[in-house]
Structure 1
Amino acid sequence: MRIATFNINNIVSRLPVLTAWLEAEAPDVVCLQELKADQGAFPQAALAALGYEAAWRGQRTWNGVAILARGMTPVVTRTALPGDPDKTQARYIEAAVNGVLVGCLYLPNGNPAPGPKFDYKLAWFERLQVHAQSLLAAGVPVVLAGDYNVVPTEADLYANHSYAGNALLRPECRAAFARLLDQGWTDALRAAPPKGPLWTFWSYLRQRWPRDKGLRIDHLLLSPELAGQLAEAGIDRWVRSLDGASDHAPAWIALDR
């Protein structure tokens, strides 16, 4: 069973990129972030033609999350984190797919930091930690996949970088991510690393893709019930090179199920 996460950065304008990837790689489950489309603009028919059913929560201009499943319908269990006071931001959706509970998330960017946006990011992170702990307590197989907007360590971005002070690297965010792992989650890309850098994001600025100056901000965390089934993990870097590509590349895991 192959589960992937991909910040598509506008599903309508990048539908050809998404289609090319789905046809080439055929993942079983896909978590998408930054749909940047309202609920009615989601390309359900185009994805169904490729064999994918979908559950999504759209938002015009910003945010938006979706779960795709090949050959089956995701059974939605949540469309927001518990206790989230801001119902306007589409950042979390959760569904059961083929015996796995899949949480798809788009954690706030938090820039500029410090400031209200950074405070919102930390508060959202705290709600995620609470919900993640409840999922572990339930003892079910879970993957929490998405754009966490956190570079966990200095090993997760290019050397001599220019991101000092950025919210993605702030110690508060790294500590929050570490606390999440300390609950018992497995960072799949670290547990079964592919060859080469683990970058999942390359800014459009300053020729960062051609120069391979990337970051790892997209993560797949596995509950103990799934961690033992992890067979492989990878990043489909080739997708970032397509015309009209997102600034992210899909990251994925393969489970022995």
Structure 2
Amino acid sequence: MQLATWNVNSLKVRLPQVLDWLAANPVDVLCLQELKQEDHAFPLEALAAAGYRAEFAGQKTYNGVAIVYRDTLTATEVIKDIPDYDDPQRRVIAASFGELRVVCAYFVNGEAVDSDKYTYKLTWLGKLERYLADSLARWPQLALLGDFNIAPDDRDVYDPAGWAGKVLCSESERAAFQRLVAMGLADSYRHFHADGGQYSWWDYRAAMFRRNLGLRIDHILLSPPLLARAQSCEIDRAPRKNERPSDHTPVVVTLG
């Protein structure tokens, strides 16, 4: 079984790329972030023609998440947003596939460490932690996939000194990431790759992708039973080479 995550930075713009990628990489479950479209515009028919179904929580202009899955699977116990947290931003969706629980999340960016958005990010992270702790108690086989907007350590940053203390790399954000790991959710990419210099996001400006000046901020975290089944986790750089690409590229984990 293969699970993948991809921040598409507008599904309306990138739908052809998503369909092409699924045709070439027929993963079982694909978590999407930054749909930037309302639910009525979600491309169910196009995905159905490709052999996929979806659960989604959209939002005009900003945010939006979806779990796209092969039509041979059945999604149950779908939960949108973080329960008991009044947040107008559509950032989280979860669904079960048998004993597998998939949580797709678009973490808050935070803008800058001295901004209100950073304060919101830290609050949001706290709410997510409690939600995941409850979810793990109910679903031991849990995978958290998404754009975390956190580079876990300096290996995940092209210029650690330049990014030190800044949003995406601040101590508080990295501490939140480590609390997820301490909860029992392992960084599947790091499990297979100890080296640095591998990224999932590159700014559109200054030929950052061509120069490989990026950050690894898209992650797949696995609970212990799933980590025991993990065979590989890879970053697929190919879609970042597309014309009008997302600034993110997919991450894929293979489970035995």
TM bin (shorter chain) = over 0.9
Deviation at 1:192, TM superposition (A): 1.8
Residue identity opposite 1:65 in structure 2: V
SS in structure 1 at match of 2:173:
helix
What are the equivalent positions in structure 2 for 1:101-140 lying under 5 Å apart?
Answer: 101-140=101-140
Gap runs ≥5 in structure 1: none
> 1:34 is matched with which residue?
34
CA distance in 2, matches of 1:223, 1:125: 18
> 2:43 is matched with which residue?
43
- Residues 55 and 76 of structure 1 are in contact (CA less than 8 Å); yes or no, is this contact kept in structure 2? no
Gap runs ≥5 in structure 2: none
1:117-162 CA-partner distances (Å, limit 9, x unpaired): 0011001100111111112222521100000100110110114664
What are the equivalent positions in structure 2 for 1:69-84 lying under 5 Å apart?
Answer: 69-71=69-71, 72-84=73-85
Q: Is 1:157 aligned to 2:157, yes or no?
A: yes
> 2:230 is matched with which residue?
230
Alpha carbons of structure 1 residues 152 and 92: separation in structure 2 relative to 1, 3 Å: same
Alpha carbons of structure 1 residues 99 and 160: separation in structure 2 relative to 1, 3 Å: closer
Deviation at 1:184, TM superposition (A): 1.2
Alpha carbons of structure 1 residues 53 and 161: separation in structure 2 relative to 1, 3 Å: farther
* Count of aligned residue pairs for this structure pair: 255
TM-score (norm 2): 0.95
> 2:21 is matched with which residue?
21
Alpha carbons of structure 1 residues 255 and 194: separation in structure 2 relative to 1, 3 Å: farther
CA distance in 1, matches of 2:98, 2:216: 28
1:195-220 CA-partner distances (Å, limit 9, x unpaired): 88431101101110110111100111
SS in structure 2 at match of 1:215:
coil
Residue identity opposite 2:144 in structure 1: L
Deviation at 1:165, TM superposition (A): 4.2
CA distance in 2, matches of 1:90, 1:139: 22
Return 230-239 or 154-163, whichever deviates more.
Answer: 154-163
Alpha carbons of structure 1 residues 204 and 140: separation in structure 2 relative to 1, 3 Å: same
CA distance in 1, matches of 2:127, 2:55: 22
Return 99-108 or 196-205, whichever deviates more.
Answer: 196-205
> 1:221 is matched with which residue?
221
